[in-house]
Structure 1
Amino acid sequence: MAEASVRRSLFVVAVLLPAALGVNAQANAPLSQIDATVEVAVVKPHPAAVMHNNFSFQNNRFELEDQPLLKLIAFAYSLNSRQIVGAPGWVEEKHWDMSGTTNLTANATLPQEQQLVRQLLKERFGLQFHREKREMPAYALQVVNGQPRLTAAADPNLQPLEWTQGNGSQRTENYRASTMTDFVLIKQLFMDRPLVDQTGLTGRYDFKLTYTRGDAPDADADTPPPQFTAIKEQLGLKFEPVKASVDAFVIDHVEQPTAN
């Protein structure tokens, strides 16, 4: 059950998640969500010879650099890339730079980032789609022995916030006031198959997950375990390989944008 190896990975988790280590005023706001709108956007092809991954929403500005459309669709609609069907080859192969301004006055929360990317996909790439159920290999997020190791959120009315700290192959993911849906969204962006939530947990939780990326770590007692082991030991959850009926995101129309 290895993590997917994604060429020119779309997201470094620390920049995917809102303001690593920074809890801004908007993220501390109640769950009543401020609608996020792109006001000005510049979209252009990314130079093929240059690799410069960037995914940033700072106050009323955003910078998305070196991003394949396939991964932006996955992020915007909470999908694993294997759920996206009917896409022309350029959606995965061609990378784009997008920048501009929004109506926000603080760093976007994760749902707002998704809302802004969905607007870009619709208005600049003409994305049209429909959903249908298809059975495919997936990972089911399940509770181990009926005993999750999760702490109820100190304030469940806050916006969910996720951020990551890391050094080398070691990583700590932090979740505040987050649901299992939030957790599945983050995890499946980096997995080799879709995730489905079978925990039955409906609350909001504060928790963290510390693990070593890649192969199993050395026997050093201070080295965190691999991710799947860490999820079991630290959260009382597991990813179980299953065949499941999941939403397939079927692309009806998408086009490359005209020059700005």
Structure 2
Amino acid sequence: MTGCVRMSVLMLALGSSLIGLHAAAQTAATAPHTRGDISGDWQGTLQVDHPLRLVARFAKADKGFTGKMYSIDQGGQGFSASAITVDASTVKFTIEVIGGTYEGTLSADGNSIAGNWLQGPNPVPLTLVRATKETAWEIPPVAPPPKLMAADADPSFEVATIKPNDTGATGMQGLTVNGRNFQTRASSLGDLISFAYEVQSKQIVGAPDWVYHDRYDIAAVPDVDGAPNPAQIRLMIKKLLKDRFKLTFHQDKKELSAYVLTVAKSGSKVKETELQGSLPGINIRPSPKGLTLIIRNGQIADFTGFLQILVLDRPVVDHTALPAKYDFSVTFTPDDSQFNGHPPPLPAKTDAAESAPNLFEAMQQQLGWKLEAEKTPVDVMAIDHVEKPSAN
């Protein structure tokens, strides 16, 4: 198949935040430090439904500082900080993997930073306090990755519940795998075919309209122990489509417009992942300048697959030859042709925030990749028969 969907729609819920939404300041009585020296551990608390403790750990480097942030109530995984600057009393840093930034003012004694955490359209107050030996929070060990399903397993869904989604959603709201539990919300049959068979919607021909318009919530559990890999998840969905939707089709070829992804002359700017696990995470959320698409532990095929299923109106072909798994994000302003004309809500414009560039410019500037249109023969799925799902 020309389409390149892997676990590309295995994403966090739209607009969700790894770290919370409200801040609570802390205070600590420690000795003054050299002005501008932020090396050491800093602590602050955010709250969603319950407090989440954050630890920012900085160390001196040849030029400036290196750092990591830990959300210790969510595990011991550290996320690298970049763009760490201390300019007079202003401290800034970015956590690229979760699309978060922080900016604050260093106190006169160098023991606290009062500022704002930004991981979405609205800034949230957050005060970080320098930790001492007595006050420092313990960072827990990183949890081991989940037990994986045997690589040679041939799984099916042992139990699968399919319910109509009548919320009025115009696009898939999520496709997740948590251990052995598979769930998707507001997915059309077209979405599931695209994901399972690694094709874009224009590569599906001869399907009735309801395939794209009717939406379903599906919850399912495999009949084999262990967390499935991407290929096994696609296999289980294929079997579900055949069993419950009576899907049959044959292969054909058709000349279509496609997007070809290559590395720009300036070179790729993305970094290999810091995360463990076999599955990627994809999240898209509003930001002050537009929409930010975040990839965690993802291959290039995960990214191109997400683009061709949910963002763009044609197949995306990967010609980058980038082999690893990566953590990266790109912020862009969508146009009317993207997200099937229904993009996620954009933040209200302010005078201070300039709009992000379009997707194509943003990818070249921020990722070092080029996405260009090209007409080429591609494989298509010609639908022979399909039915609305059988009862649970």
TM over 0.5: yes
Question: What TM-score, normalized to structure 1?
Answer: 0.74
Specify whether residues 258 and 161 from structure 1 end up closer, same or farther in structure 2 by C-alpha distance, changes over 3 A only: closer
User: Is residue 171 from structure 1 mapped to residue 276 from structure 2 by the alignment?
Assistant: no
**Residues 146-177 of structure 1, C-alpha deviation per residue, up to 9 Å, x if partnerless?**
7222335569x96252332634543141232x
Unmatched tracts of structure 2, length 5 or more: 1-8, 20-73, 78-142, 336-345
Q: Secondary structure at the match of 1:14?
A: coil
| Unaligned ranges ≥5, structure 1 | 1-10
Pairing of 1:181-260 with structure 2 (within 5 A): 181-189=301-309, 190-199=311-320, 201-214=321-334, 224-260=356-392
1:64 equivalent among 184, 205, 220: 184
Residue from 162, 169, 173 that aligns with 1:43: 162
Distance 1:47 1:77, change over 3 A: closer
1:93 pairs with 2:213: yes
CA pair 83-232 structure 1, distance change in 2 beyond 3 A = same
In the alignment, the residues of structure 2 paired with residue 219 and residue 129 of structure 1 have an alpha-carbon distance, to the nearest angstrom, of 52
How far is the alpha carbon of 1:191 from its aligned partner?
A: 0.7
Alignment of 1:39-188 (within 5 A): 39-44=158-163, 46=164, 48=166, 50-51=167-168, 53=173, 55-103=175-223, 110-145=230-265, 147-152=267-272, 159-164=278-283, 166-168=285-287, 169-176=290-297, 178-188=298-308
Bigger relative CO (Cα 8 Å, ≥ 6 apart): 1
Q: CA RMSD in A?
A: 3.8
The answer as to whether partners of 1:26 and 1:106 remain within 8 angstroms in 2 is: no
2:204 and 2:381 in contact (8 A); partners too? yes
Q: What is the deviation of 1:38?
A: 0.5
* Identity across matched positions, percent: 28
Count of equivalent residues: 243
Q: Distance in 2 between matches of 1:237 and 1:28?
A: 35
Q: Which has the higher helix share?
A: 1
**Is the 2:256–2:375 contact (alpha carbons within 8 Å) kept by the matching residues of 1?**
yes
Aligned-pair CA distance for 1:219: 8.2
Q: What is the Cα deviation at residue 203 of structure 1?
A: 1.4
Q: Structure 2 counterpart of 1:40, which letter?
A: V
* Aligned amino acid, residue 133 of structure 1: K
Q: TM-score, normalised by structure 2?
A: 0.52
Compute the displacement of 1:15 (Å).
3.6
